[in-house]
Structure 1
Amino acid sequence: MSEQDPARPAATDRAPGYADISPARRVGLLEVAFARINYGFGAMVVVSLPFIAWYARLGQNPFGLVLWSAWYFVGFWVVRWLYRRYQRACARDAADVVLRRWSPLIHGVALVYGASMAVPPLLTAAHATFEFQLLYLVTIAAIVASNSVHASPVLSVFRCFFLSGWGSLTLLVPYSFPGHGYYVMPLALIYILTILRHSAISLRFFVQNVVLQEEAARLAEDFRQAKEQAERALYDKHLFLTTASHDLRQPVHAMGFLVESISRSNRDRALDTALADLRESVHSATQMFDALLDLSRIESGRVQVRSEAVDLAGMIAHVAAVFREEARDRGLALRVHLPPGQAIAIADATLLRQALNNLLHNALRYTRRGGILLAVRRRGGSWRCEVWDTGIGIAMRDGNAIFSPFFRNAHAWGIDSAGHGLGLAVVARCCAMMGARHGFRSREGRGSCFWIHPEAGEPATLPASVRLADPVAPGAVAHGMGTCLVVDDDPLVRSAWQTLMQSWGLQATCVESGGQALHLIESGFRPDVVFCDQRLRSGESGFELLCELLGRLPEASGAMISGELDSAELGHAQEQGYLVLRKPVETAELQAVLGCWLPPPART
């Protein structure tokens, strides 16, 4: 059993009462009672008119009843004026101050309101008929019953009205009903007990509702504060990852380039296994960075989904080109199956490409022999992207749990302990944000098929700017063909670039600032490819520098390289059609890009 919160009364001790309500809520209930009294004064003016006319028709002088009606008419406007002052006081003063100043006055007004109802029997008892007196008594009984519902939120106010009004009428029964008081009086007394009981029940109903409202407001405030704390914690985490990602990625980025260059220049076969393990470790760290930062960026809610027409065939072909070298290094065949015509879908191109990259990387990680197939197939009236592999497969009992963060089954741990269970979680979040369906089929030990099914699109809706050309299969970078210019302010990264390019047989010039790069161009240096880091210590914008360099080098190709998670300039660069590579850059991805951009070797 859980312990009762000592700050709150136990639910089994007693029902909540008026004293359990906060002063602010009591002020609200008092306003309801005051408004009902104000309405009652006006209603009595209307009720008095038929009785004045009836009394006059009986041949009696109605002057006393007219004065009584006028009294209620004046009282209506006075109480209305007081009621508006009360509302202004509620908006201006503290709740306890309002209660202390206005509660006695409202009780007094209720007392006058009820006592004035006993005036007609005093004026007409000796002259009116039995029917006249009985109808008036029934009318007042109906008014009292109505007040017992609307005025009972503050029971003391209602009792002032009721006891002064109906109590006075009950005392006047022998005088108002001569010869009939012996049966009218018991009915009036029974009515007193009934109304008091009913008003107490109504009060409990009001109080319980107010208590529930206060509890709901408290829970809503607790939820709001918890939500703000969670959002603040998520923002702080995102800010930390964003700030730290650049500095953390720099050494991993350089390490990956150095491992690749050492592997190519290594002549000692005894080091092959150690270098392969080191390359795999760097590769695993790179994928962990990407998955963690991608998941953080998506969960932060800062990703803006932009639905547009996407050429699925072109996207699949480009994704395959980026991973083809890695598949070759793993001894796997990477094939692509594309439809003969256009395959258009409505999706966010960035999110869809990210999801396909993760699916293909996942397939490569858990496939030891055989191959991978990327396909775009017709399903109904739309297209579906599929990634097939001949890997270890997945037990169907794991179901959609594989799309949860950090989930890895026993087979996955057995084949590769370097995974982190984040890749498929990113796929699921990307698909959810795009409104695309996703799923998988698998047989343990035989392989799997993961698929993404975006919304169908018409070929006519595809803008020319997003039509993707078929990429050139790069293979290995041609030795001695082409020159590169790299702008990066980190000396370790520049050294790694230089070493890697030399191992590939390429000419590379690395500088640390835009001024040095522009000086080289002005001196006649004409690179085929330009790579610019986004964050330069000189305060320059890497994207603006890249645009200026490519403007002076119309024959060159260029890309942005950055370790930043979110950057408005990088987003703008991608929107403008520039390639943005995220640190740590996979050497296979870089090799694929250079294979597309550098001139082919001359045939001899």
Structure 2
Amino acid sequence: MITTVFQGLVNWFIPQHMADDLHTRKRVQMFIISHIFGPIIATPIPLFLWSADPQPWPHVLVLALSIYGFWPFLALVKLFPRAYTPLAMASVLNLSFAILWGTYNYGGTSSPFLVWFVLTPLLAFMYLGSTWTARIFVLAQITLGLASLYGFYLFGDFPEHIPVNDMVVAGLLSALGANIYVFMMAAYYSSVVDSQSELIKEIDRHQYTLKALTSAKDDAERANGAKSDFLAKMSHELRTPLNAVLGYSEILLEDAELDGRGEQIADLQKISAAGKHLLAMVNDILDISKIEAGKMALHIETVDLGKLIDEVEATGRPLAAKNTNSFVVERGKDLGMMRADATKLRQAIFNLLSNAAKFTQNGTITLSAKRTGDWVDIAVIDTGIGISREQQQALFSNFSQASSKIAAVYGGTGLGLSLSQNLCRLMGGQIEIESELGAGSRFTIHLPAQVDQTMPLPTEMPIVPLTTRADDDFLNDAEDDAVKRKVGHAGMNGHSNDHDKRERVLVVDDDRNFLELAERLFIRENYTPICSDAPQSALQIARTVKPSAIFLDILMPGFDGWDVLAALKSDPVTADIPVFMISILAERSKALAAGADGIVMKPFDAAKVKAALAALRSTRGRNRAANV
């Protein structure tokens, strides 16, 4: 209790601006404690001198005033906190004066009070620290004090108020007081050192913990990088066979529909649906891994919110009708334009609509859009099974669903909501949920009307000169082979054999199975495909054939698609030929920045081919980008 009260008193005297720094606070605490107890410890000396000196006036009184003059320094520090340093210097000078005054009047150079002079540098450094100012000050006052005593010794006489032989008691009191004072200061200084040692040990422990955390962070980053690489490679490996599954199933489905083979149509539709479902899962996993790795880029554009809702409505209405649900669209006034990534926003809305249609039967699904100031709210409301508050806690986690029972009944991977939430957060917003079990759900996409470009677009690819050893014989052989295969397939499907009238398109990909599929798809669209699995020859083929468009795969060994694109755009003969990049990754921004006219996502199906070619026709003669 006493210790607490005393510590509170000491802290009360410490200036506020010095209390935050640990070392400064310790020095001020030393100053205050020494000034509280110093005069008390030295009190026996003036009392003894007053009683032993037959004529104590005025030298004993001057000594006493100097000793008790330390107490006013406490009030001065409290009143003038910014003047701590000059007040500490004045206190040290006052101590030196008291010691020298007592030494001069009682014993001179043989005075028992001279032992106190050792305290002046000790206290000065405790008060002021070991700055150069403190060092010069201490050295100067010690030198001047001792020089003054020695000058009196050489050129004057010391007064003899009390004979030296009668000052034994004064010497004992002086030695006792000085030792008590030093003991007290040393004990306090020892506690400071101990506390600093504990602090240093704590710092060492924290540094060790920091090193361990840094090491764990590095391991986690390496593991995350390995995971991202693994997912990207696996995504590519999965999409390659999926490309063949979806492409050939669509070709076979078209043939079956033309021939009226009903049983095969149903089977092929199941194959196509299963392939598309697997492709959606692969896409979601890849998108989530890109977001977690900070590599997901935004393509910010001006979006007509009304038209976007129209597009979503066209897709959402048949989706809702599958479970005999009614579909309602509510539009707020003045939806206007917004700046956002339309593809990612549309993807998030479709995910919410898909979930609503899945978990609602014979009910109502409502799509609501409104604008409030600088924010846009797009809500999907359903009258389905609802979600309890406990289940909502982990609803936006990867591979998480409301419950295992729901997953068993309705299926799904638990990636849609997590991906949608991450996409909205990437655009500066979020998805909010309101739901009760058995009473339906409301998912609201809350986005700023002006989405910031949080991630910069990839820089333009450098133009790399592309050398090739391809010659006309290789070109003619490749074209003849393509034409022969085209003619044979066209004859089976009832197409005209007059391929010379068809526009030529160049397809470059290292996967020969993909080239065969692309060839059949382009023939169906009444084009003459020229296919090559040698990217080194792409420039020479394009210069010779001058195709209407070039479809160029990105991931190829040796010269990849970016190198070929750079070479095509740097050559004056081929610079104006539209180029569509073929990719398993959504790299539209990078493709546009590198000079491509658009990007076609794998798997390569008829719908994407038609869309790409339609965009090509609509932009012919203009250098305008199209995204498919």
Q: Distance in 1 between matches of 2:592 and 2:194?
A: 65
Aligned-partner residue type, residue 582 of structure 1? M
Residue 509 in 1 paired to residue 502 in 2?
no
Q: Which residue of the partner structure matches residue 492 of structure 1?
A: 513
Correspondence list, 1:82-481, <5 A? 127-128=107-108, 140-141=118-119, 143-145=121-123, 177-266=167-256, 267-271=260-264, 273-304=266-297, 310-317=303-310, 343-348=336-341, 351-356=344-349, 358-360=351-353, 362-363=355-356, 375-388=368-381, 393-410=386-403, 412-417=406-411, 419-442=412-435, 448-457=441-450
Q: Tell me the CA shift for residue 550 of structure 1.
A: 13
In 2, Cα distance between equivalents of 1:396 and 1:367: 19
Find the aligned partners of 2:108 and 2:308 in 1 and give their Cα distance: 98
Contact kept, 8 Å, 1:436 with 1:454, in 2: the verdict is yes
Q: How many residues align?
A: 438
Question: 2:517 is aligned with what amino acid?
Answer: A
Change (3 A) 1:125 1:553: closer
Query: 1:329 & 1:579 partners in 2: Cα distance?
Result: 34
Please report how far the alpha carbon of residue 406 of structure 1 lies from its aligned counterpart in structure 2 after TM superposition: 0.8
Question: How far apart in 1 are the matches of 2:596 and 2:439?
Answer: 40
User: Hey, what does 1:562 align to over in structure 2?
Assistant: 583
- Structure 1 pair 303/133, CA: closer, same or farther in 2 (3 Å)? farther
Q: For 1:66-88, what per-residue CA distance to the aligned partner results, in whole angstroms no more than 9, with x for missing partners?
A: xxxxxxxxxxxxxxxxxxxxxxx
The residue type paired with residue 293 of structure 1 is L
- TM-superposed CA distance for 1:421, in Å, is 1.5
Displacement after TM superposition at 1:407 (Å): 0.3
Mark the runs of 5 or more structure 1 residues left unpaired by the alignment.
Answer: 1-28, 30-57, 59-118, 153-173, 459-478, 600-604
Equivalent in the alignment of 1:580: 599
* Residues in 2 aligned to 1:328 and 1:264: alpha-carbon distance in whole angstroms: 25
1:569-598 CA-partner distances (Å, limit 9, x unpaired): 862427978443332357666666667777
| CA gap 1:237/1:364 in 2 versus in 1, 3 angstroms | same
Alpha carbons 1:431, 1:452 under 8 Å: kept: yes
- SS, match of residue 401 in structure 1: coil
Conserved? CA contact 1:258–1:500, under 8 Å = no
1:539 counterpart residue number: 559
8 Å Cα contact 1:306-1:348 kept in structure 2: yes
Distance 1:350 1:150, change over 3 A: farther
Instruction: Write the distance in 2 (CA, Å) between the matches of 1:236 and 1:340.
Output: 48
| Separation of aligned partners in 2, 1:353 and 1:275 | 28
After TM superposition, give the deviation of residue 533 of structure 1 in Å: 2.3
Determine if contact 2:548/2:578 at 8 Å carries over to the other structure.
Answer: no
The answer to whether structure 1 residue 571 and structure 2 residue 590 are counterparts is yes
Query: What's the CA shift for 1:255?
Result: 1.0
Aligned partners of 2:522 and 2:529 also within 8 Å: no
Quote how far apart the aligned CAs of 1:365 are. 5.6
- TM-score w.r.t. structure 2 length? 0.55
TM-score (norm 1): 0.57
- For 2:570 and 2:364, the matched residues in 1 are separated by 43
Deviations 1:36-65 (A, max 9, x none): xxxxxxxxxxxxxxxxxxxxxx9xxxxxxx
The alpha-carbon deviation at position 222 of structure 1 amounts to 1.6
Q: Could you list the per-position Cα deviations for residues 546-567 of structure 1 after superposition, in whole angstroms to 9, with x for gaps in the alignment?
A: 869999798x9864320246x6
* Corresponding position of 1:35: none
State the Cα deviation string for residues 317-336 of structure 1 (Å, max 9, x = none). Answer: 55667888988999988887
Q: 2:554 corresponds to which letter in structure 1?
A: Q
Contact 1:283 1:586 in 2 (8 A): no
Residue type at the aligned position of 2:601: R
The 2-side partners of 1:333 and 1:596 are apart by 34
The equivalent residue for 1:22 is none
CA contact (8 A) 2:380 2:444 kept: yes
Say which SS state the counterpart of residue 291 (structure 1) adopts. Answer: helix
8 Å Cα contact 1:366-1:412 kept in structure 2: no
Distance 1:540 1:397, change over 3 A: closer
In 2, the alpha carbon distance for the partners of 1:254 and 1:543 equals 25
Question: What's the CA shift string for 1:172-217, capped at 9, x where partnerless?
Answer: xx98954524544443343344334323312211211111111122
Is this contact kept in 2: 1:366–1:415, CA < 8 A? no
1:235 Cα deviation after fit? 1.7
Q: SS of 1:402's equivalent?
A: coil
> Which amino acid is 1:495 matched to?
E
SS at match of 1:584: coil
Superposition deviation, residue 391 in structure 1: 5.8
Q: Is the 8 A contact 1:489 1:511 kept in 2?
A: no
Helix, strand or coil for the counterpart of 1:408?
coil
* DSSP 3-state at the match of 2:395: helix
Describe the shift of the 1:199–1:548 C-alpha distance in structure 2 as closer, same or farther (beyond 3 A).
Answer: closer
Contact map agreement 2:569 2:575 (CA 8 A) in 1: no
Give the superposition deviation at 1:258: 1.7
In 1, the alpha carbon distance for the partners of 2:105 and 2:323 equals: 111
* Residue in structure 2 matched with residue 163 of structure 1 by the alignment: none
Measure the CA separation in 2 of the matches of 1:176 and 1:346.
98
Q: Mean Cα displacement is larger for which, 263-272 or 291-300?
A: 263-272
2-side partners of 1:584 and 1:533: how far apart?
A: 12
Q: Distance in 1 between matches of 2:248 and 2:319?
A: 17
8 Å contact from structure 1 (residues 490, 512) kept in 2: no
Residues 1:176 and 1:296: Cα distance change in structure 2 (over 3 Å): farther
Q: For the residues of structure 2 that align with 1:533 and 1:245, how far apart are their CA atoms?
A: 16
Cα 1:200–1:522 shift into 2, 3 Å: closer
Q: Does the 8 A contact of 1:404 with 1:425 survive in 2? A: yes
Is 1:376–1:386's contact at 8 Å kept on the other side of the alignment?
yes
CA distances 1:13-53 after superposition (whole Å, capped 9, x unpaired): xxxxxxxxxxxxxxxx9xxxxxxxxxxxxxxxxxxxxxxxx
Q: Is the 8 A contact 2:115 2:178 kept in 1?
A: no
